[in-house]
Structure formats: C-alpha cells, structure tokens
Chain A
C-alpha cells in the first residue's frame, strides 16, 4: 500500500509532469519523422544504397596506412578508451611506429621526420572584406609514397602492435579496424537482402524498437537523476526527515519501495510512447505481420537498466552527499558516454549509452549482441549494488550517523586521540 502512496506522490508532482514532457518531446521530435512513411523497398538502378562494412584488404590496407601516416606526422594519436583521448608516444615507441610505417610505405624515418611540408586538412580563421571572421579550408599535404607488398595477416599484426603501443582502443584495434577502414558501397542485392531481413515478422518490430531505444536512451540515461534527486529529497525539503526516520518500517523496505515507485513511474511514459510507436508501425505496414513479443522484450532489456541504474546511483549519491552532487556526477557520466558511443555499431560492454542510430542494420546489431547482453546485465547489477548501498546509508543516517559535519570532526578527533594514547602507551 505504501507503494501506491509513494507512487501517487510522484505521479502528481510537477517534476514528474516535466519528466513526461521530456520523454514525449524526445519521442515526437526524433521518431516522428521515421513513423510517417514506411521504409522504401530498394529498386534496381538507384545511385546509392548506402555503404556497408565489408572486410576487403585492398580497401582496408591503404586507408588505414594513410590514417597512420597522418597521425604520425601530426605527432599524436586519437584513442577512445571511454572518451576521446590524445596519445603522444614516447621516443622508442615513436621509432617503432616509424619502422612499421616504413614497412608499409617504404618511407624511412628520416624521410618522414624531414617532411616539413606536412599539413593536415584544416580550417583557419581569416577576415572577409567586411572584417568579419570566417573559416577558410586547406587541403591536406602528404609525402608521396607507394604501398609496399605485405600480406593482410601481417598487416593486421602490425596494426595490432600499433594499437598496443597506443594503449588500446585506437582506430587500429582489431575490433575496429574493419569497421573503420573497410566500407564499401552497398549493392542492390545486399540492400534488398537487408530489407527483406528487416521485413520478417520477428524483425520489423525489433528494427523500430532499436531506433526507439537509441533515441529514448539518450534522455533516459540522464533525466531520471533529476526526477530521482528531486523526489528523493522531498522529505528533507518538507522537514519530514525526522518523522520518516522514526517510523517502524525497515530501512531496506522503505528505500526499496520508494525506489520501485520511482522506477515504475518513470517507465510509464516510456511504455505509453512505445506502444504508440508499435501501433503506428503496424499502420505503416498493413500487409506485414509484426510480432510484438521480441520487440517488447528487447525494448525492456535495453531501456529498463537505464532507469534502474541512473535512479539507483542518484538515490545513493543524494542520500550520501546531496542531490546536486548526484546530478553533477550523472551529467558528467552521461556526457562522457554520449561522446564515446558511436552512432551505429559501437556497443561496448561498459558504456552507459548504447546507440544504434539506424532503422534496420540487423546484422550489425547481431554482431554485437554478446556485448549488448553483457552491458545490460552489468548495469542491472550496478543498480542492485547502488540500491543496497543507498539503503545502508539511509539506515546509518537514521541511526544518527552522517548527521552533521561536527560529527565527522568529533570522529576525526577521536581517531587522533586514540592514536596519541597508543603511542603514549
């Protein structure tokens, strides 16, 4: 019954209305367009069917080599451990990369380092005739070279070595090499095959679900922290803490009930917009049968961990330090994962945000499905851990700990007093 009461308190708050508005706005602005027309069936003779990742040594090797040359001449390498990071190798590492480049291009280290004309493609600031600042673009200038004959296996080994030197997660890592450097134009046949895969009853709903989760995930990975911090602190604002603390209910039970009230309330607009989307999709493809179950399962497993983990972290940090601190941490975390995640095909085991910014792309998603499962399971576990910690902190506070700063200083002084006593003895 307490659950219903807490639930009412949440649902009728201004904060919740705002939350619903945000979810609805995200859904409407981002998916509205995709739901207007059905995905067109590819027809023969179109100019462009998009690109597809295909492991082709003849394309991959020159592209990766040029990128390595560019980064070498720039003097720094970009990696993505959790976010964008520039790596500047040490002298011996630099020498080894130069050796590898030599093996691939035939350019010696001396030739590389003495090429002073190097210019990355760049934008400069100049003034136009009115004196207003404008950007001007300059083309890149590379030394001339010819690709040396190396086998693809050996090439991959070399790239792996470069990646290790750079500390991993560079463009040359085995897992990203193909994705990054080996894109070929899609043929009509592949485009058609992809379309037909997408149109299968089990896949069509899932295709739209992925796009839905991609967009909604962006807000669900951050907005719950505001709602949770705000509503969790309602007691403190209303000077209700002492009253709540003194009740019979166990801390774990109270914290869990409030947590589930929050989470279930926050899932509400998600469920509503999701159902709305599925009904729209059914209307778009009247001749197709669409199975809902795989779509609903995928959507829940994708989105629920966002709400669960963000809320749990928010509740824990709000309880331990304060709501503004929780908001600060979550916003930074959200920003980092937003920057780190690739739009399509970048699902990793750890990043909070999972992106799949494309309708279809069943094969790309399938290739990363193991990572997807791992990632969501990890965030489910994290939620449980944070919830438990929150209950623990709540219980301690109830018992009078963490009350005032004075308590900390008293505890601190006592530690020193004990030490002094010991050293005296």
Chain B
C-alpha cells in the first residue's frame, strides 16, 4: 500500500465562504507541517482528511483509499482535534478503553496498547484520574494517546501545542517526532517554532489556499539575504514600520533594536544582514505572495 496522502483540486464552501480553494498537496511518510494563521483553513483541511467534513470537489486519497470510504479511512487515521476533550466523568484508562472499542479493537489488544501508550505519554500514574481533573497538558497527552491507540498509518494533529507550557511543548514535539518514524504525521500550527523543530516538509496556507510547499531549508533559502537588524531611534520606528516588515524588536531606552525584512538593500543606517530564522522566512513568504502582513508588536 502506498504510504502517502494525495490531495487534488479540493475545494470546500461554508455557505458562501470558500474555506478551501483548489488545494493540491502530496504528503509523504514522516512529519509534515501545515503552517498558517488562525482561520487560514488548516482545521478545515485536517477535518476533511479525517473524514469529518465533506469536500465539495476534487479528490483525496489516503494511502490509496479514497476519502469517501469513511470507515476505511477512520480505521487507518488517528485524529487529535485542536481542543481535545473527552467525557469528563470517565477515568483516563476508561476513556482510552472506550475509544479503543470504538476503533473496533479486541480487548487483549486494547489492554496491551493502553499500557504502552500510558507509559509513552507519561500518564501511567494518572490512569485512574477522572478526565475532568486533568491539567491542559495531561489532557493533550491523553489526546495523543487516543489518536495512536489503534496504531494508525496516518496521524492528524491540529494545533497540538497551543496552550502548553514550554517544557510540555518540547516533550510533545519529541513524542510526535518519535511516532513519525513509522507513519505519516500531519501537524498544523500557527507557531513557527513547532515546525522548525520537527518538520522537514511544510506547506503554508493562507485564506484557504496552499501558498507554498517545500522543505524547511527551501523556505529558509528563500529568505536568505532579506533579513536585517538595526538599532534605530524610537521616533524613527513608525517610518520604519511603513517601509519594512518588522519581525522582532527590543526596546533599549531611547533606541530600539529591530529585526526586519527588506527585499533589496535597506535604506537604514547601520543595518546589517542576518541569517533568516523560520519565522522570518515564513513572514517573507507571505509578504512575497502579496498577503497583508502585520509588522511591529504584532507577531505572526
């Protein structure tokens, strides 16, 4: 069986609003990152891949299975929604067991897998806790455990790190990398750092369209030579914001240290070129494609 997801010319409307515009994407085994702002259409695309939403046109094949065969698709995909939530009155182990039943797993198989996964996501000592008593991070870990329970070929995780503390975020990312060795993991996020740390292949979505697809290195290469830093007087800032895309700034008394993107040589005294980070490259990509980008305090 071919281990890839092939998306061809997929469109979807909510009423009059077009949520997906002619999306074409091929996702291979390993970790794939979907990057974009809130509301870019990432969640819609992921739900469509998990056979929760129906597309209106185009075709999707997950490991060779057309998306219309919902039952077969659901048998090979694990899905972790953006705000994972489970029956609050159930205990952790019970919730996993029930979801295992819903995946048509045999009792012995469930027992074994739950044991392994609880260990993997560090919830073994909380196995008898009620779901309503879990912290945000624990809940998210329960979420990933349930998505992996039936050993899916495809794992779809929507904004998995939002709301986690830095330590938990790192642990979570590592866990995802680990499981991506044997399967396709599709990860959506609006936090650039997540992608940088985990994915090799990425796609950038904007207003329902795939704006760009490639490797992280290609994205960085794209922005090479476009990123500068400078220290400017505070009163110069408004002027600077008008002309360039500012990706970071640090106030130091009367002056401010800024990091910005410029297509040619910038007309700023003391500007020095910098190696682009993922965040810079992402913003540059949006800018290059003609999207409205907000600079200054508002980071993307």
Whether A associates with B in a native complex is: yes
Q: Which residues of A contact B (CB under 8 A)?
A: 404-406
Q: List 4 A-B contacts (CB under 8 A).
A: A404-B132, A404-B133, A405-B130, A406-B133
Instruction: Summarize B's interface: helix, strand, loop or mixed.
Output: helix
Q: How many Å lie between the Cα of A405 and that of B129 in the bound state?
A: 12
**Which residues 127-168 of B sit at the A interface, judged by CB distance below 8 A?**
130, 132-133
Q: How many Å lie between the Cα of A405 and that of B133 in the bound state?
A: 10
Q: How far is the CB of A160 from chain B (nearest CB, A)?
A: 55
Q: How many Å lie between the Cα of A406 and that of B128 in the bound state?
A: 13
**Which residues 214-264 of B sit at the A interface, judged by CB distance below 8 A?**
none
Q: How far is the CB of B171 from chain A (nearest CB, A)?
A: 24
Q: How far is the CB of B88 from chain A (nearest CB, A)?
A: 10
Q: Chain A residues near B130 (CB, 8 Å)?
A: 405
Q: How far is the CB of A280 from chain B (nearest CB, A)?
A: 40
Q: How many A-B contacts are there with CB distance less than 8 Å?
A: 4
Q: How many Å lie between the Cα of A75 and that of B133 in the bound state?
A: 57
B interface size (C-beta, 8 A): 3
Q: How many Å lie between the Cα of A406 and that of B132 in the bound state?
A: 11
Instruction: Summarize A's interface: helix, strand, loop or mixed.
Output: helix
> Which chain A residue shows the least CB distance to B85?
A239
> Which chain A residue shows the least CB distance to B83?
A239
**Which residues 106-138 of B sit at the A interface, judged by CB distance below 8 A?**
130, 132-133
Q: How many Å lie between the Cα of A20 and that of B84 in the bound state?
A: 35
Q: Chain B residues near A405 (CB, 8 Å)?
A: 130
Q: How far is the CB of B234 from chain A (nearest CB, A)?
A: 33
Q: How far is the CB of B143 from chain A (nearest CB, A)?
A: 16
Q: Chain A residues near B133 (CB, 8 Å)?
A: 404, 406
Q: How far is the CB of B44 from chain A (nearest CB, A)?
A: 21
> Which chain B residue shows the least CB distance to A406?
B133
Q: How many Å lie between the Cα of A406 and that of B130 in the bound state?
A: 10
Q: How many Å lie between the Cα of A405 and that of B89 in the bound state?
A: 10
Q: How many Å lie between the Cα of A404 and that of B133 in the bound state?
A: 8
Q: Chain A residues near B132 (CB, 8 Å)?
A: 404
> Which chain A residue shows the least CB distance to B89?
A405
Q: How many Å lie between the Cα of A207 and that of B133 in the bound state?
A: 58
Q: How far is the CB of A390 from chain B (nearest CB, A)?
A: 23
> Which chain A residue shows the least CB distance to B132?
A404
Q: How far is the CB of A411 from chain B (nearest CB, A)?
A: 16
**What 4 A-B pairs are tightest by C-beta distance, nearest first?**
A404-B133, A406-B133, A404-B132, A405-B130
Q: Chain B residues near A404 (CB, 8 Å)?
A: 132-133
Q: How far is the CB of B272 from chain A (nearest CB, A)?
A: 44
Q: Chain B residues near A406 (CB, 8 Å)?
A: 133
Q: How many Å lie between the Cα of A404 and that of B130 in the bound state?
A: 10
Q: How many Å lie between the Cα of A405 and that of B130 in the bound state?
A: 10
Q: How many Å lie between the Cα of A406 and that of B133 in the bound state?
A: 9
Q: How far is the CB of A364 from chain B (nearest CB, A)?
A: 53
Q: How far is the CB of B52 from chain A (nearest CB, A)?
A: 21
Q: How many Å lie between the Cα of A406 and that of B89 in the bound state?
A: 12
Q: How far is the CB of A25 from chain B (nearest CB, A)?
A: 28
Q: How many Å lie between the Cα of A404 and that of B129 in the bound state?
A: 12
Q: How far is the CB of B63 from chain A (nearest CB, A)?
A: 35
Q: How many Å lie between the Cα of A404 and that of B132 in the bound state?
A: 8
* Mask: chain B, 172-211; 1 = CB below 8 Å from A; 0 = not: 0000000000000000000000000000000000000000
Q: How far is the CB of A203 from chain B (nearest CB, A)?
A: 54
Q: How many Å lie between the Cα of A405 and that of B91 in the bound state?
A: 13
Q: How many Å lie between the Cα of A121 and that of B98 in the bound state?
A: 58
Q: How far is the CB of B133 from chain A (nearest CB, A)?
A: 6
Q: How far is the CB of A242 from chain B (nearest CB, A)?
A: 12
> Which chain A residue shows the least CB distance to B88?
A404
Q: How many Å lie between the Cα of A238 and that of B54 in the bound state?
A: 26
Q: How far is the CB of B89 from chain A (nearest CB, A)?
A: 9
Q: How many Å lie between the Cα of A405 and that of B131 in the bound state?
A: 12
Q: How many Å lie between the Cα of A398 and that of B271 in the bound state?
A: 53
Q: How far is the CB of A375 from chain B (nearest CB, A)?
A: 41
Q: How far is the CB of A406 from chain B (nearest CB, A)?
A: 7
Q: How many Å lie between the Cα of A404 and that of B134 in the bound state?
A: 12
Q: How far is the CB of B121 from chain A (nearest CB, A)?
A: 22
Q: How far is the CB of A369 from chain B (nearest CB, A)?
A: 51
Q: How far is the CB of A91 from chain B (nearest CB, A)?
A: 52
Q: How far is the CB of B205 from chain A (nearest CB, A)?
A: 26
Q: How far is the CB of B91 from chain A (nearest CB, A)?
A: 12
Q: How many Å lie between the Cα of A181 and that of B197 in the bound state?
A: 89
Q: How far is the CB of A402 from chain B (nearest CB, A)?
A: 13
Q: How many Å lie between the Cα of A177 and that of B132 in the bound state?
A: 58
> Which chain B residue shows the least CB distance to A405?
B130
Q: How far is the CB of A400 from chain B (nearest CB, A)?
A: 14
Q: How many Å lie between the Cα of A412 and that of B133 in the bound state?
A: 18
Q: How far is the CB of A261 from chain B (nearest CB, A)?
A: 28
Q: How far is the CB of A220 from chain B (nearest CB, A)?
A: 34
Q: How far is the CB of B213 from chain A (nearest CB, A)?
A: 34
Q: How far is the CB of A27 from chain B (nearest CB, A)?
A: 33
Q: How many Å lie between the Cα of A272 and that of B130 in the bound state?
A: 49
Q: How far is the CB of B243 from chain A (nearest CB, A)?
A: 39
Q: How many Å lie between the Cα of A405 and that of B88 in the bound state?
A: 12
Q: How many Å lie between the Cα of A328 and that of B297 in the bound state?
A: 51
Q: How far is the CB of A286 from chain B (nearest CB, A)?
A: 50
Q: How far is the CB of A9 from chain B (nearest CB, A)?
A: 22
Q: How far is the CB of B155 from chain A (nearest CB, A)?
A: 26
Q: How far is the CB of B298 from chain A (nearest CB, A)?
A: 22
Q: How far is the CB of A272 from chain B (nearest CB, A)?
A: 31
Q: How far is the CB of B166 from chain A (nearest CB, A)?
A: 21
Q: How far is the CB of B18 from chain A (nearest CB, A)?
A: 25
Q: How far is the CB of B29 from chain A (nearest CB, A)?
A: 36
> Which chain A residue shows the least CB distance to B129?
A406
